[in-house]
A and B are shown apart, each in its own frame.
Chain A
Amino acid sequence: MTALLSIRNLKTQFRSANSVVRALDGVTFDIDEGAAFGLVGETGCGKSVTALSILRLIPSPPGKIVQGEIYLKGTDLLSLSEEQMRRIRGKEISMIFQEPMTSLNPVFRIGDQMSEVIMLHQGDHKPQAIKKAAAMLGRVHISDPERVIRQFPHQLSGGMRQRVMIAMELSCHPSLLIADEPTTALDVTIQAQILRLIKEMKRELNTSILLITHDLGVVAGLCDRVAVMYAGSIVELGDVEDIFSHPEHPYTRGLWGAIPPVDQEKESLSVIPGNVPDLSSPPPGCKFHPRCASRFSPCDQRVPPLFETSRDHFVACFLYGGTNG
């Protein structure tokens, strides 16, 4: 398989009056064609900034991509003009957000919003675009597409709105769908419906998926590969089954241990001491070292690169190499 999207050493920063926040500090990963890639981490670790950087939607100023490359099918997105980029958004890469109510326009009917995307990227006339929109709504299992086409967002439930969003984003058959916390605002039974739908769409349309979430269960159910982020860097990267069964980075282990699972009994939850560092003045060396129980001499001196601990399993931690070489 070839990589559909390759991100190399991406650095995104936000400037404020007297400091620079390094939101992304050298992020590198690939997403294969037709694969589902999960990006997990806690609030403020840079998951959403990664997504916005890929689409070049970082508000600037104060934000800026200061370094790195983002290749989509071999084209560096960062070298494109704004006009060329606009043709990529919605056609090649599209994105669904956490809160479907705020990403749908409340004053336009569903059909008008959906057909706009289709008219823009496929050059159809309105009647035909509306027809295509209705067909797409049918594909995401909305039972009465002809009626929903004429409705406004507020007339739909949260789960229905997210279905509409998915239909809209997939209507131009993008090669990459970025889903930023797509089920966080939904109840578990509705979440199960939406996840099933995303899986089905991925299979039918062969769309690659970048799933951003803090819910590890969602990643376990949907993704093939996963990257764990902490304070703007990837600390662990690899195959989902591998990482979920043998988490290696101390942060990943701590995170996994902190989750109360539904399907087994756990006496006590492990706690990661301290707080996430301030990204305008991050600690030197490994950014996790002040909170890490297994830190040793090199941790506060040098930044650990990603070491390959087993086939296709990468960990940014000196426990796994780099100390005697």
Chain B
Amino acid sequence: MGAPMDEPLLNVRGLKKYFRVAKVWKGGWKRERAFVRAVDGVDFSIRRGETLGLVGESGCGKTTVGRLIVRLVEPTEGEIQYEGKNLACLDKKQLHPLRRALQIIFQDPFASLNPRMTVSQIVGRPMQIHGLVEKPRRDENIGCLLESVGLRKEHLGRYPHEFSGGQRQRIAIARALATQPQLIVADEPTSALDVSVQAQILNLMKRLQKELGLTYLFISHNLGVIRHVSDRIAVMYLGKVVETADKYAFFRSPAHPYTKALLSAVPSLDPKKKTEAIPLEGDVPSPIHPPSGCRFHTRCREALPKCYDEEPFFHQLEDSRWVACHLYP
């Protein structure tokens, strides 16, 4: 590998995705065309070989970011720089070789595997599409791949319904690895699983990262999982990244008021630790009409007058920390 470790493998700048929704009733006969601003100007980068944990509550846009990066949805605006190429403006043909390097693992292993395909077809299809392994040697290759994710060669001819949730997620990982990718987007890969199975999958993903030098964008709402797998962490709220920091700084001293509230809301495993959660009143506002100024001001206890109408810039606070908040000028 020629590139130095520090150089980002993936660089996302000003990424936006608006989904058009049915026209919204405005009273009387008036209708307004509305957009859900799922991702509304997101910046982050991922270095080669690291794991960036993307965390946030449901509806904050984290899954859309993951899908944008592998171009499963088309970006509205912004850049996705991958090894010097802007993925956002490549056409289908130009994108094809890059799809080999960028793979994705989905949340629900019951929905992401075709029930009518055998394991060997599921894992072999990406190899076939990218012309990686000649047919006679393909089964042998798939067998090795299955063993590397903790399944057996005998599983080749079986169908997804014959496997448990954890085993299915292993098949999904094997499928993602089939093209020898560099970056894997893992979208809540363990949230459908029990904790003991989750531990198996997390350990497997960490081991594979070490062995194969993989880079992960790990999307999750579970802060414990995020802490365990990530080197750096990015927090999203209502379509924006509000804070990124390296793991140690992040958990030691969260800066953004939303990050603080989020961390304090996770119940501790120690019953003696009676830390009160910082109360966040109300619900997340609608991404169709996000609040003016800082999007978090409606629920923020430390809001300043300018938070109501001035949007905070995403700026560097310390070495490894970026934050979008007026409290840190």
Q: Which residues of A contact B (CB under 8 A)?
A: 42-43, 157, 159-160, 187-193, 195-196, 214-218, 220-221, 240-241, 244-245, 254-263, 265-266, 268-272, 275
B200 touches A271 (CB 8 A): yes
Whether B221 sits at the interface, judged by CB under 8 Å, is yes
Asked if A266 and B228 sit within 8 Å, CB to CB, the answer is: yes
Return A107 CB to nearest CB of chain B, in Å.
21
Closest CB in chain A relative to B52 CB, distance in Å: 17
Q: What residues make up the interface of B, taking CB atoms closer than 8 Å to A?
A: 57-58, 164, 194-196, 198-200, 202-203, 206, 221-225, 227-228, 251, 261-273, 277, 279-280, 283-284
Chain A residues near B270: list those with CB within 8 A.
220, 244-245, 263
CA distance A245 to B268 in the complex (A): 13
Q: A188, B196: Cβ atoms under 8 Å? A: no
Whether B268 lies near A192 (C-beta < 8 A) is no
Pick the most buried of A42, A216, A258: most chain B CB atoms within 10 A of its CB: A258
Distance in angstroms between the alpha carbons of A220 and B264 in the assembled complex: 15
Do the beta carbons of A220 and B268 come within 8 Å of each other?
yes
Residue in A closest to B281 when the chains form the complex, CB atoms: A193
Contact call A189/B267, Cβ cutoff below 8 A? no
Given contacts A244-B271, A275-B164, 17 further A-B pairs with CB under 8 A are A188-B221, A192-B280, A217-B268, A220-B267, A220-B269, A221-B271, A244-B270, A257-B199, A259-B224, A260-B199, A260-B228, A262-B266, A263-B270, A265-B227, A268-B206, A271-B200, A271-B203
Within 8 Å CB of B284, what residues of A? 187
Q: Would you give the shortest CB distance from B300 to chain A, in whole angstroms?
A: 12
Query: In the complex, A216 Cα to B198 Cα: how many Å?
Result: 14
User: Which secondary structure dominates where chain A touches chain B?
Assistant: helix
Q: Chain B residues with Cβ under 8 A from A220's Cβ?
A: 267-271
Complex: chain A residue closest to B274, CB-CB: A221
Cβ-defined contact, B271 with A241, below 8 A: yes
| B271, closest chain A residue (CB) | A220
Q: Which of A157, A160, A260, A271 contacts B224 (CB 8 A)?
A: A260
Q: Which residue of B lies closest to A256 (CB)?
A: B269
Q: A187-B221, A217-B267 are in contact. Are A258 and B196 (CB under 8 A)?
A: yes
Cα-based distance from A269 to B221 in the complex (angstroms): 19
Chain A residues positioned under 8 Å from B57 (CB to CB):
187-190
The interface residues of chain A lying within 8 Å CB-to-CB of B222 are 260
B22 to chain A, nearest CB (A): 15
Closest 7 interchain pairs by CB?
A: A217-B267, A260-B228, A258-B199, A187-B57, A269-B199, A192-B277, A192-B265
Q: Are B279 and A193 in contact (CB under 8 A)?
A: yes
CB-defined A-B contacts under 8 Å, sample of 28? A42-B195, A187-B57, A189-B261, A189-B277, A189-B280, A191-B265, A195-B267, A214-B195, A218-B267, A220-B267, A220-B268, A241-B271, A241-B272, A244-B271, A257-B199, A258-B196, A258-B198, A259-B224, A259-B269, A260-B222, A261-B227, A261-B268, A262-B223, A262-B227, A262-B263, A269-B228, A270-B199, A271-B199
| In-complex Cβ contact of A263 among B228, B265, B268 (8 A) | B268
**Closest-CB distance, A226 to chain B (whole angstroms):** 9
- Chain B residues lying within 8 Å of A265, measured Cβ to Cβ, are 227
